[in-house]
Homo-oligomer: A and B are copies of this chain.
Amino acid sequence: MEHIKRTHITAPTQFLEANGIRLAYRRFGSDTGVPLVFMPHFRAGMDHWDPAVTDGLAATRPVVLFDNAGVAGSSGETPDTIEAMADSAAGFIAQLELLQVDVLGFSIGGYIAQALALRYPAIIRRLMLVGTGPRGGEPTHDPRVLEYGASTDPRTGESSLEAFLYLFFRPSETSQAAGKAFWNRRHLRRHDVDPPSSAQTMKAQRAAINAWREVRGERYSELKNIKQPTLVVNGSHDIMIPTINAYVLSQEIPLAQLIVYPDSGHGSLFQFPALFVAHGAMFLDGST
């Protein structure tokens, strides 16, 4: 029997039960090494990653994609706080019997990754926080962000290409072209794909994001308790979670390194997948 190499496109969707919820996940990449668990953006499931990023990082480590409670292919309700989402993610990691993982959190996934590192420090080795910000960070002032963020293409039940090009990329020709190339890569997987996330997920995630954006206690003070080596990444001009928030994360997390890519926005990891993979692998395998 032939064994097809598992990749972003071919890895079968699997399921496990955690806290009474059936969670969808996929594993691929190396058999050995510390697994890297991906936590995606608003409304996103496993199919919203860039195969160039996931397969790129999977070349040198195991990679795990999953849909958190209620999201996309997972059952249950999406909770309405970042903390509860982190609890659910911790349950998933425990059920997979992974003793320690690296976590790449993108956007709201970066909020959850921070909460996970604060609530379950022992299970996280290294953190990558991409296109994200601290609790109580600097808000966007772009009026179209909310509008586009909530829009749904009726044909797919998902955000449209137009919304992605506006929200994740810059207006420059280079960035828009990179956005379209990303969009094509993102749709290369055509079988065994996730259903779109529900309206309930969107509403609960929105509530969680709004709560996260409120300052709690001394602003940014919880970040000093993230002890893991952390790589913070964003594009130079993120209109969703302004880039200054990446700078703040890197100033306040004691062992944080910051990388900001040129002429790019929220989706910088999708605009520069090869560079991001090289920088990311260097960080994950490094001593700094």
Known: A255-B263, A263-B255. Contact between A250 and B236, CB under 8 A? yes
Q: In the docked arrangement, what's the CA distance between A263 and B287, Å?
A: 13
Within 8 A of B (CB), among A193-220: none
Given the complex, which residues of B lie within 8 Å of A286, measured CB to CB?
A: 275
- Judge if A270 is at the interface, Cβ distance under 8 Å: no
- Judge if A247 is at the interface, Cβ distance under 8 Å: yes
Write out, one digit per residue, whether chain A residues 98-134 have a CB within 8 A of any chain B CB (1) or not (0): 0000000000000000000000000000000000000
- Judge if A46 is at the interface, Cβ distance under 8 Å: no
Q: Size band of the A side of the interface?
A: 20 to 34
Given the complex, which residues of B lie within 8 Å of A247, measured CB to CB?
A: 244, 247, 260
Q: In the docked arrangement, what's the CA distance between A254 and B174, Å?
A: 12
- Judge if A42 is at the interface, Cβ distance under 8 Å: no
Q: In the docked arrangement, what's the CA distance between A252 and B259, Å?
A: 16
Q: In the docked arrangement, what's the CA distance between A259 and B229, Å?
A: 15
Given the complex, which residues of B lie within 8 Å of A263, measured CB to CB?
A: 254-255
Known: A257-B261, A258-B260, A259-B257. Contact between A251 and B236, CB under 8 A? yes
Write out, one digit per residue, whether chain A residues 272-287 have a CB within 8 A of any chain B CB (1) or not (0): 1001001100100010
Q: Which residue of B lies closest to A271 (CB)?
A: B288
Given the complex, which residues of B lie within 8 Å of A251, measured CB to CB?
A: 236-237, 243
Given the complex, which residues of B lie within 8 Å of A262, measured CB to CB?
A: 229, 250, 254-257, 288
Shortest CB-to-CB span from A236 to chain B, Å, is 6
The reply to whether A288 and B259 contact each other, CB–CB distance below 8 Å, is no
Q: In the docked arrangement, what's the CA distance between A259 and B255, Å?
A: 14
Q: Which one of A258, A263, A275 has the greatest number of beta carbons of chain B within 10 Å?
A: A258
Q: In the docked arrangement, what's the CA distance between A229 and B236, Å?
A: 13
Shortest CB-to-CB span from A52 to chain B, Å, is 14
The reply to whether B258 and A258 contact each other, CB–CB distance below 8 Å, is yes
Given the complex, which residues of B lie within 8 Å of A259, measured CB to CB?
A: 257-259
Q: In the docked arrangement, what's the CA distance between A251 and B236, Å?
A: 6
Shortest CB-to-CB span from A280 to chain B, Å, is 12
The reply to whether A236 and B261 contact each other, CB–CB distance below 8 Å, is no
Shortest CB-to-CB span from A123 to chain B, Å, is 22
Known: A243-B251, A254-B262, A259-B259. 5 other contacts (CB 8 A): A236-B258, A254-B263, A258-B260, A275-B282, A275-B288
14 chain-A/chain-B pairs, Cβ below 8 angstroms:
A236-B258, A237-B251, A247-B260, A250-B260, A250-B262, A254-B262, A254-B263, A257-B262, A258-B258, A258-B260, A261-B288, A272-B288, A275-B288, A278-B282
